[in-house]
Chains A and B, each alone.
Chain A
């Protein structure tokens, strides 16, 4: 099984996780910019974070043969903090980087006027930089949040098949399917979706325009729930080719729209330096 996790926050994960992911067949990942649990207090903090998403984290991933890409945006939660708002001006510069394959995570948290403004501004950036968009949906008041999200997406003028609306569930998948956007599902140990429920959604809605991710971060989460979902699909009678479509070809198709996806084996390029291993510890 080859796996492309289209949404995982590796900044919060250890090298043990990278090793387990590589052993499980994860060969490519996209790490969206989001919040870090601890609130940031300045734009400079975002600059360091964005630098890490296009610098240190791909370097770390490459040591395990995993190709790392990023999406960049000011997240909706911190869009509400005036001290962080200046980070919006940093975003365009990062959207030009080779490994940035979408604008994201944009969207709503508490659906404030500040979030409206930052969401719309960043959808305009997606259009300007010809990048897809990764849209987070709120964990509270989700159904109405998804409707409002789709209205902002349509208003932006972006092609709807260049947008993934993420963290969907049984209640919210229909509206996104009907809108023509990609449907993202985060598989979690307790909250969001489980592998078995995901299989039921695949049965009901088919395999097209579906992205399955672990969204693993600093909370209780599991970077191998993509694998577990693939296993649950097989147990439910889906074929190996079906699993490959959901866990590999779909994310390649979606993020490939950026024109920047580079899936060459990083083990050949980065993990060795002129023949020397760099897998030993740092200094």
Chain B
């Protein structure tokens, strides 16, 4: 997917920003915060699942020298507003960063912001250990986040997750509250 051409507005700003980041990594701090104001926040027709600001922010991250990338990804996430945090999480699978950004997933999963929890369970979650991954999937069920956000769900779902899910289902049943139908598939491992 070509994010650069999928972006619908602000190309001149973005191209200049990418060049500035490549020349001097500290430039990314202010550019990263401003991306939504230049490249839009709506979902991109040519890149489903990506918004203009997310695509622009991913391209800014990709412009960083590889050696600087882990430090800036961490810093931009930790000092970011939710849209910036979301953009970092979304970009992780595209970045040459190995498993270094796993602490960011742990942070996102601890939040009660459904957007961040969901974004933490994309393809980069392959670096999450199984215990943390199960807790995050169960949290999705608990918060009503659709399970389609979870990458490789059927591959990774295991008997322990089935036990945990059954526990939640039983609590909900005892309380007379609803339980999402789609989560019943987790019980069939």
Contacts and interface: CB of A to CB of B under 8 A. Distances in A.
A274 B114 CA distance: 10
Interface in A95-152: 96-99
Interface stretch (B1-9, B13-21, B143-151, B159-167): B143-151
Given A98-B36, A98-B37, A283 B81 contact: no
A280 B79 CA distance: 28
B146 A97 contact: no
Contacts of B79: 93
B34 interface: yes
A55 B139 CA distance: 20
A273 B114 contact: yes
A1 interface: no
Interface string B29-63: 11001101100000000000000000000000000
Interface string A255-283: 00001100000000010011111101011
Contacts of A260: 37
Q: Is the interface of A mostly helix, strand, loop or mixed?
A: loop
B145 A282 contact: no
A276 B144 contact: yes
A3 interface: no
Q: Is the interface of B mostly helix, strand, loop or mixed?
A: helix
Contacts of A274: 145-146, 148-149
B106 interface: no
Contacts of A218: none
Given A93-B29, A96-B30, A96-B33, A283 B82 contact: no
B126 interface: no
Contact of B144 (A55, A98, A273): A273
Given A273-B118, A278-B114, A283-B112, A98 B81 contact: yes
Nearest to A129: B30
Given A260-B37, A283-B139, A283-B142, 18 more contacts: A55-B81, A58-B82, A59-B82, A93-B29, A93-B33, A96-B29, A96-B33, A97-B81, A98-B33, A273-B115, A273-B144, A273-B146, A274-B146, A275-B146, A278-B114, A278-B143, A282-B112, A283-B112
Interface of B: 29-30, 33-34, 36-37, 79, 81-83, 85, 112-115, 118, 139, 142-146, 148-149
| Top 4 A-B residue pairs of the complex, sorted by shortest distance between their CB atoms | A96-B33, A276-B144, A54-B81, A282-B112
26 contacts: A54-B81, A55-B82, A55-B85, A55-B113, A56-B113, A58-B82, A59-B112, A93-B29, A93-B79, A96-B29, A96-B30, A96-B33, A98-B33, A98-B36, A99-B81, A270-B115, A273-B114, A273-B115, A274-B145, A274-B148, A274-B149, A276-B144, A278-B144, A280-B143, A280-B144, A283-B142
